[in-house]
Amino acid sequence: MNPILKPNITRVLLSSSPAPFASAVLHNSIHSLRIPGKADSFQPAAIVAPLDYLISNPNRVSLLTPSSRLPTSIFLTRALYLSTCQFPHRSPQALYSTQSHNMSTIEDAKRNAAKQAVAKHYPPNPKFVGIGSGTTIVYVVEAIKALGVDTTTTGFVPTGYQSNQLVANAGLTSISLDALPEGAVLDVAFDGADEVDDDLNCIKGGGACLFQEKLVALQAKEFICVADSRKLQRRLLTNWPSIPIEVAPLAVRRVISELQKLGSPLPKLRNAPIKEGEHTQPVKTDQDFFLVDAPFPKLLLPSDVAQGEDGSGKNGVWEVTALAERIKLIPGVLEVGLFCGLTGPQAQAAGGIGGQKPTAAYFGMLDGSVSVRKAN
């Protein structure tokens, strides 16, 4: 074990609502801030401050590091949450450096995607606009402000508390979904995603806002996804490890048991450390519900099934929409972090209002370009 890495402090002030299993991987050259456990092994660092705090306070994320050889406080601008950290031992310089070209490139990629998405899809004189959650959405709001258009007659509908704070801090008018006039439809909704597949199905819920995010998407004429290139994968559950599921606290055990029957090998209640102690408590959503993170094998597309693959759940292998519908049937499940099925225009053609699936997705690439994917 490297004695330089032996910490006197074992907590990282980052997030009480991380992605599954409360592990953290930081953007830039900070590959993983982890604390020594058993000999020759590292464990993910604990996480104790709100994820969406990063959105409204991006420059005030404080990391506590070993005090003997390294600075005691480092300020970062963003963090990425993953379920597992499987990195070898690294030098203290690599573990704790605060800035890098890589981080700058990723943030620039997000900003480029947001600018292009807003320029293309922000309508003239919109009445209502949905504003989602996640680190990319701060750039969406930035891009809206940069348009220089009159926003005084536009109501911005947030997908959660921190999203509401972001809107308010930008000087925009926030209106909650349940305060909309009867029959009102959002002109457009912008949101991020944890992972997006070839058909533009999305996994969302890493930031614990999936229920309100889905409500807003379903109330919008079109949902536009904005992300960086790492979120684009051929199939869901390629890099993002699990499906977030919002669950009534009383039903957690039952839901976990049912998920195991569906083929999820290790569904877990999402916990986070209590600020002033070593104990953990369940992460709560804005609805005071809990989150269960359920890993599954990669999810199939309808095209995979058409080519003969079995997406019925055998051996835990599911087609994405079939799994979303099946999980939603479990008593105690409020919502599932799979955004699939119809787009807004498809839903409207069928007599509905909006769809869960984005009409288009904008991915900021590391070379400065933006890749645009449109739903079929």
In a domain, 309, yes or no: yes
* Amino acid identity, position 374: K
Q: Which listed residue (107, 142, 195, 213) is catalytic?
A: 213
C-alpha distances (whole Å) from 88 to each of 27, 33, 289 are 17, 12, 36
Average pLDDT over residues 74-102: 32
Active site residue 258: no
SS3 assignment, position 280: strand
Beta-bridge partners for 280? 273
Domain that holds residue 53: 3-99
118-163 pLDDT per residue, tens: 999 999 999 999 999 988 999 999 999 999 999 999 999 999 999 9
Is the pLDDT at 100 greater than 70? The verdict is: no
CATH of the domain at 293: 3.30.70.260
Could you tell me if 171 and 93 lie in one domain? no
Domains in the chain, number:
3
Indicate if 179 and 199 belong to the same structural domain. yes
Bridge-based pairing of strands 223-228 and 360-364 is parallel
**201 Cα distance to chain centroid:** 14
- Residue range 290-308, pLDDT digits in tens: 999 999 999 999 999 999 9
Q: Are residues 116 and 229 in the same domain?
A: yes
pLDDT at 175 over 70: yes
pTM to 2 decimal places: 0.75
Same domain, 248 and 213: no
Same domain, 95 and 110: no
Same domain, 128 and 260: no
Average pLDDT over residues 364-369: 96
% residues pLDDT > 70 (the chain): 72
**223, 121: one domain:** yes
Q: Find the distance separating the first CA and the last CA of the chain, reported in whole Å.
A: 52
Residues 337, 334: Cα–Cα separation, whole Å: 10
**238 within domain boundaries:** no
Report the sign of the C-alpha dihedral through residues 282, 288, 289, 295, in that order.
negative
Under 8 Å between Cβ of 221 and 187: yes
pLDDT score, position 274:
82
Q: Give the H/E segment covering residue 109.
A: helix 101-121
Q: How many helices (H) and strands (E) does the chain have?
A: 10, 24
CA 94 – CA 313 distance, rounded (Å): 42
Tell me, what's the pLDDT at 376?
A: 84
Helical pair 101-121 and 137-146, crossing angle rounded to 10 deg? 50
The answer to whether residue 319 sits within a structural domain is yes
Alpha-carbon span 78 to 55, nearest angstrom: 8
For residues 109 and 213, state if they share a domain.
Answer: yes
Which residue matches tokens 């999305």? 202
Q: What is the mean pLDDT of the chain?
A: 79
